[in-house]
C-alpha cells in the first residue's frame, strides 16, 4: 500500500521484515517502514507497540535479528549510532541530550570542534559562524553564543534539530517533539519542519496526538504489539480508523471485572494540581473497587499517584480519606492513613533488593515488631513474613533470601505483602505487571481481584489496555495532566479509552 501511495521516487530509508526479540518478548515481528524525501511520516501505536524499538534499530542502538535496512536503495547495516549519523540518520529524543552549561555552538559541534593553532585550540569563531549558518537555513533566530540552559525547551529542541542538520541529516526522527511545547512553539516547530521538507529532508514523526498527525504528516504507519498494521495517507484517514488500528486486538471474549465495589467512599481527591503535570484532578475510590487509570505515557497518572502518596509536593487540592480531609505531606503520612503506593520501578522504589524477603515484607511495620521499641523480635518478623509468603504464594527458598534473587512476579508479591502486613486498605498499583511474565501476570490479576473482594480499595495504573479492561470496575482516563473522562469497566471499549487518552485541551472534570 505504501508503495502505491508514496511519491514515485526512491525512498530515503526503507526497512523491511525487521525482526527483534528480547528475552521473553517478541518486540518486532516482520515490521516494515519507509520514508521518502520531503515527507513527514507519522509512526503511531500504543505504548509498547514497538515504535521506539524500530527507531532504535534504524539509529543503530539495537541490532535487528532479521530483516533489512536500505538507505537510498542500498542495503546497509547500522552497527552503532555513529554509523547512523554518517548515513544521515538523526534522532531528536523526547528528553533532550544537551549540555546546559555549554553554548549553543559548543553543543552543536561537540566532539568535532573546528581547530586552529596546530589543532591545539578550539576555533570558537568558526563554530559560531557554522551554527549561525544552520540557524539561517532553518529561519530561526538563536544566538549561537547563548548558554543552552538559558533557552526554553522549545528553543533547545531547535538546537537539537540544528545539531542533526550539522551532520547533514536527511532522515530526522522526532520522538514526541511537542510534548513540552505550548501552542505557539508547536506552530513554530511545524514551520521549521515544513521548511526541512522543502529541502528534501524526510521526517519520522512519532506521536500520540491525532491533531498533529492531521496537521503535519503526509502518511501514517500504525504499529501494534510489535507488528506492522498498515500505512495510510494522513489527510484522508479518519482519526477513528487510526485509533481502531492502534487498539484493534480482539477483546470480545475477554474477562471483565465483576461487581462494582461498595458505596463506601474510602478516598476522595478534589482539585489536585501540580504545575502543568497534574491539572485539576478529582476522583473518588470506593471500598472493594478497582479503579483503573488509563492514559498514554506522560499523561500524569504516576504523578497523581505519587502526589496522593505524599512522595511529591502538590500546589493545591484536597485529599479525603474515609470521609476526613487529610494533609499528606510525606509517604509516612500517607502510610499512616492506610495508603500504599506500589511503584512500577520495584527495584528502585519498591524493594530494598539487598535485604531479605523477611525484612522487605516487614519493613513498613518494623515498629510493631520491637520489644520496648528498640529490639527487633526477629522470630515474630520471620513468622509474619512466612505467613504472607504462604498467603501470597511467593516462590522463595526461604524468607531470608535476598529479594534481588526473586523473579519479577515474586518481587511484586513481596511488595504487596509489605503493605498488607502494614494494614493498608488503599493500594495504588503503578504498572503492577511490568516486567512480569505472562503466567505470573494472571496470578497477580487474581491476587488484585481477591484483595478487592476482601474490601481493599485499589487503583491500577496501567498502559496496557487489556490489563485496564480486565481489572477495572471503573476507568479514569488521563491526558496531559487532566482526567478526560470516566468509563464503566464492564462496557468500556479500547477505542473509547484511546479517544479520551488522546483528547487534548478539553475542559474536562
Partner 1 sequence: MTDTAQDKADNLTSGFFTTATLQKAVAFAVLVALLLFFSLFAPNFAAWNNMINIMQATAVNGVLGVAVTFVIISAGIDLSVGTMMTLTAVVAGLILTNLGMPLPVGIIGAILFGGFMGSLSGAVIAKLRIPPFIATLGMMQIARGLALLFSGARPIYFNSTPNYGLLSPESSISKLIPGLEIPNGVLIMFGVAIIASIVLNRTIVGRMIFALGSNEEAARLSGINVHLWKIVTYGISGAICGVAGLIVSSRLNSAQPALGLGYELDAIAAVVIGGTSLSGGRGTVMGTIIGAFIMSVLTNGLRVMGVQEEWKIVVTGVIIIFAVFIDNVLRKRT
Residue 343 contacts partner 1 per CB under 8 A: yes
CA distance 225 to 218: 24
Kindly state whether residue 334 participates in binding partner 1, applying the rule CB under 8 A.
Answer: yes
Asked if 401 interacts with partner 1 (CB under 8 A), we say yes
d(Cα 448, Cα 116) in Å, to the nearest integer? 66
Instruction: State in angstroms the smallest separation of the CB of 471 from partner 1.
Output: 23
CA atoms within 13 A on the CB side of 107: 28
Nearer to partner 1, 8 or 374 (CB): 374
350 near partner 1, rule: CB under 8 A: yes
For residues 175 and 166, give the distance between their C-alpha atoms in angstroms, rounded to a whole number. 19
* Interaction of residue 375 with partner 1, rule CB under 8 A: yes
Nearest alpha carbon to residue 357 among 332, 387, 377, 337: 387
User: Does 363 interact with partner 1 (rule: CB under 8 A)?
Assistant: yes
Asked if 370 touches partner 1 (CB under 8 A), the answer is yes
**By C-beta, is 74 or 348 nearer to partner 1?**
348
Is 313 a binding residue for partner 1 by CB under 8 A? The answer is no
Give min distance, CB of 319 to partner 1, in A.
16
Give the ranges where 139-238 is alpha helix by DSSP (H). Answer: 153-166, 183-198, 210-216
Q: How many binding residues for partner 1 (CB under 8 A)?
A: 44
Question: Does residue 422 touch partner 1 according to CB under 8 A?
Answer: yes
| Nearest of 152, 181, 54, 156 to residue 96 by alpha carbon | 156
Nearest C-alpha neighbor of 36 from the set 204, 227, 213: 204
Distance between CA atoms of residues 467 and 111, nearest Å:
45
Near partner 1 by CB under 8 A: residue from 400, 454, 493, 505: 400
Contact stretch for partner 1 (CB under 8 A) within 79-87, 94-102, 163-171, 371-379: 371-379
| DSSP reduced 3-state for 431 | coil
Establish if 77 lies at the interface with partner 1 (CB under 8 A).
no
Helix pair angle (153-166, 183-198), 10° resolution: 10
Q: How far apart are CA 16 and CA 437, in angstroms?
A: 29
Q: Is 353 in the site for partner 1 (CB under 8 A)?
A: yes
In the complex, the smallest distance separating the C-beta of residue 281 from partner 1, rounded to whole angstroms, is 21
- Residue 191 CB, shortest distance to partner 1, in Å, is 43
| Cα–Cα distance for residue pair 344/251, rounded to 1 Å | 25
CB of 220 to partner 1, least distance (A): 40
Which CB, 371 or 491, lies closer to partner 1?
Answer: 371
Closest CA to 146 of 159, 157, 163, 133: 159
Residues numbered 220 to 239 that lie near partner 1 (CB under 8 A) are none
Q: Can residue 352 be called a binding residue for partner 1 (CB under 8 A)?
A: yes
Residues at the contact surface with partner 1, assessed by CB under 8 A: 309, 311, 330-332, 334-336, 341, 343, 348-356, 359, 363-364, 366-367, 370, 373-380, 382-383, 386, 397-402, 418, 422
Amino acid at each position: 500500500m505504501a508503495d502505491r501511495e508514496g511519491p514515485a521516487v526512491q525512498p530515503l530509508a526503507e526497512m523491511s521484515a525487521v525482526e527483534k526479540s528480547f528475552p521473553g518478548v517478541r518486540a518486532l515481528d516482520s515490521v516494515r517502514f519507509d520514508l521518502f524525501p520531503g515527507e513527514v511520516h507519522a509512526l503511531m501505536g500504543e505504548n509498547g507497540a514497538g515504535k521506539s524499538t524500530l527507531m532504535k534499530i534504524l539509529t543503530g542502538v539495537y541490532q535487528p535479528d532479521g530483516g533489512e535496512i536500505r538507505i537510498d536503495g542500498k542495503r546497509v547495516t547500522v552497527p552503532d549510532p555513529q554509523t547512523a549519523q554518517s548515513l544521515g540518520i538523526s534522532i531528536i529524543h523526547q528528553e533532550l541530550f544537551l549540555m546546559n552549561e555549554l553554548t549553543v555552538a559548543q553543543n552543536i559541534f561537540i566532539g568535532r570542534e573546528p581547530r586552529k593553532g596546530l589543532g591545539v585550540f578550539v576555533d570558537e569563531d568558526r563554530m559560531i559562524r557554522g551554527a549561525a549558518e544552520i540557524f539561517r537555513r532553518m529561519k530561526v533566530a538563536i544566538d549561537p553564543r547563548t548558554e543552552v540552559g538559558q533557552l526554553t525547551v522549545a528553543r533547545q529542541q531547535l538546537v537539537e534539530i540544528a545539531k542533526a542538520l550539522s551532520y547533514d541529516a536527511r532522515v530526522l526522527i522526532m520522538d514526541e517533539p511537542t510534548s513540552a511545547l505550548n501552542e505557539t512553539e508547536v506552530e513554530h516547530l511545524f514551520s521549521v519542519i515544513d521548511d526541512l521538507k522543502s529541502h528534501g529532508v524526510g521526517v519520522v514523526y512519532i506521536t500520540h496526538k491525532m491533531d498533529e498527525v492531521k496537521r503535519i504528516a503526509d502518511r501514517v504507519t500504525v504499529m501494534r504489539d510489535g507488528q506492522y498494521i498498515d500505512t495510510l495517507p494522513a489527510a484522508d484517514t479518519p482519526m477513528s480508523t487510526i485509533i481502531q488500528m492502534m487498539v484493534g486486538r480482539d477483546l470480545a471474549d475477554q474477562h471483565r471485572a465483576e461487581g462494582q465495589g461498595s458505596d463506601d467512599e474510602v478516598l476522595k481527591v478534589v482539585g489536585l494540581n501540580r504545575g502543568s503535570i497534574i491539572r485539576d484532578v478529582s476522583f473518588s475510590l470506593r471500598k472493594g473497587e478497582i479503579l483503573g487509570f488509563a492514559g498514554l505515557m506522560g499523561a500524569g497518572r504516576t504523578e497523581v499517584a505519587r502526589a496522593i502518596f505524599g512522595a511529591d509536593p502538590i500546589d493545591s487540592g484536597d485529599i479525603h480519606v474515609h470521609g476526613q480531609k487529610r494533609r499528606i505531606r510525606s509517604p509516612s503520612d500517607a502510610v499512616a492513613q492506610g495508603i500504599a503506593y506500589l511503584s512500577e520501578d520495584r527495584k528502585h522504589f519498591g524493594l530494598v533488593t539487598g535485604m531479605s524477603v523477611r525484612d522487605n515484607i516487614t519493613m513498613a511495620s518494623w515498629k510493631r515488631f520491637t520489644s520496648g521499641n528498640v529490639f527487633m523480635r526477629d522470630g515474630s518478623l520471620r513468622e509474619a513474613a512466612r505467613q504472607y509468603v504462604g498467603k501470597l504464594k511467593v516462590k522463595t527458598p526461604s524468607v531470608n533470601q535476598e529479594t534481588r534473587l526473586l523473579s519479577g512476579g515474586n518481587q511484586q508479591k513481596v511488595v504487596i505483602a509489605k503493605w498488607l502486613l502494614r494494614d493498608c486498605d488503599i493500594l495504588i498499583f503503578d504498572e503492577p505487571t511490568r516486567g512480569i511474565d505472562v503466567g505470573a501476570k494472571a496470578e497477580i490479576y487474581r491476587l488484585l481481584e481477591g484483595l478487592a473482594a476482601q474490601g481493599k480499595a485499589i487503583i491500577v495504573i496501567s498502559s496496557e489496555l487489556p490489563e485496564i479492561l480486565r481489572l477495572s470496575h471503573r476507568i479514569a482516563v488521563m491526558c496531559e495532566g487532566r482526567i478526560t473522562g470516566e468509563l464503566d469497566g464492564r462496557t468500556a471499549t479500547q477505542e473509547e479509552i484511546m479517544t479520551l487518552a488522546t483528547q487534548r485541551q478539553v475542559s474536562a472534570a
